Amino acid sequence: MTLGDIYKKAVEMGIRADPRGEAGVKKVLARRKTEYKELSKTKKAEYDLEDLNNPYSDSRILIGNLNLKVDKVMAGIDISSGEVVLADRLNQKGAGIDLLIAHHPIGGPLAALHEVMELQADLMANYGVPINIAEGLMRDRMSEVQRIFSPRNHNQAVDAARLLGLAVMCTHTITDNLVYDFLEKLFQKKSAETVGDVVKILKEVPEYKEAMKGKAGPIIFAGSEKNRAGKVAPIEITGGTEASHLVYEKLALAGVGTIVGMHAAENHRKECLKYHINLVIAGHMSSDSLGMNIFFDEIERGGVKVLPCSGFIRVRREKR
């Protein structure tokens, strides 16, 4: 496969698993194209044209020719300058790594992380929160996240890869969508009567089972294992980063009983307790690994070898 083939496959898979549905994603892209046409010449020159084809601003090729032949990928949850140097060192030993793929965004995709958070409004609407309320809550949070990430040294790892001649891409919301799709279907298939059942179901997933060995497996942050689960929503899974802590009141009113997430700040936990929502944290590196695995199973079928690093728990599955 070429770098272009891998990128195209990633975007296609992310769209198929998107909580908005493929039709919803097409509407988003159509709106962007209309907005772009109406921009001034100056604004058009500043516009990231890839936004017109790829709905995920936190998932991009950062360095590399689209025609680059890729035989081997080194993939990690985080790719920092350290992983870039590690790849170069391994190549000195004959590893033959052609491409680095990070899950978490780096470079411009990190600076643009807030842009993908609009997805969460539609996700909350899927669970019964009125879209106008969901959008209102997300608007302030997106602005906050933009300010948080604005001063970061976004290009540190990218610059290291450029100096060492390595291609780099990241697949953040793309592979988070794959996690969401997997967990949503899992809890539709396996009914959970109690919060304890939710945890038990998660622990049957190989990535979470492996994480248990390192004491980083599924855990209940709010509620107890004897609580009845009610409507289970894997809502803190995709769409950039955590939503506003104010969403939990609206989710409770919409009938959500248990939220499954990758991670949660303390103010989120307190809001869940306040509104009697059970909060189960599946695990961060393990959840990210789940999405990456679904993606890399497809890439390996294209003849590309994958070398996991940086917290990536590689588990292979039969084709679904």
pLDDT in tens, 5-34: 999 999 999 999 999 999 999 999 999 999
State yes or no: pLDDT of 64 exceeds 80: yes
31-63 pLDDT, tens per residue? Answer: 999 999 999 999 999 999 999 999 999 999 999
Q: CA torsion 113→260→282→176, rounded to 10°?
A: -30
pLDDT at 135: 95
Whole-structure pTM value: 0.96
User: Tokens for 44?
Assistant: 């058009």
Residue ranges of E strands in the chain? 59-63, 72-76, 99-102, 167-171, 219-222, 231-236, 256-261, 278-281, 305-309
202-224 pLDDT, tens per residue? Answer: 999 999 999 999 999 999 999 99
Confidence of residue 313 (pLDDT cuts 50, 70, 90): very high
pLDDT at 234: 96
State yes or no: pLDDT of 115 exceeds 70: yes
* CA separation for the pair 145, 274 (Å, rounded): 24
In sign, the C-alpha dihedral spanning 316, 282, 81, 178 is positive
What average pLDDT does the segment 290-306 reach?
97
What average pLDDT does the segment 241-263 reach?
96
pLDDT at 320: 54
What average pLDDT does the segment 146-173 reach?
97
Residues in a beta bridge with 169: 61, 101
Confidence of residue 318 (pLDDT cuts 50, 70, 90): confident
319 vs 310, residue with greater confidence: 310
Count helices and strands in the chain by DSSP H and E runs: 14, 9
What average pLDDT does the segment 293-319 reach?
95
What average pLDDT does the segment 178-195 reach?
97
254-283 pLDDT, tens per residue? Answer: 999 999 999 999 999 999 999 999 999 999
Query: How big is the CA angle at 147 (ends 146 and 148), to the nearest 5 degrees?
Result: 90
What average pLDDT does the segment 296-306 reach?
97
* CA separation for the pair 15, 18 (Å, rounded): 5
Helix axes 118-126, 131-149, angle to 10 degrees: 150
68-95 pLDDT, tens per residue? Answer: 999 999 999 999 999 999 999 999 999 9
**Mean pLDDT for all residues in the chain:** 97
DSSP, residue by residue, 16-41: HT-TTHHHHHHHHHHHHHHHHHTS-H
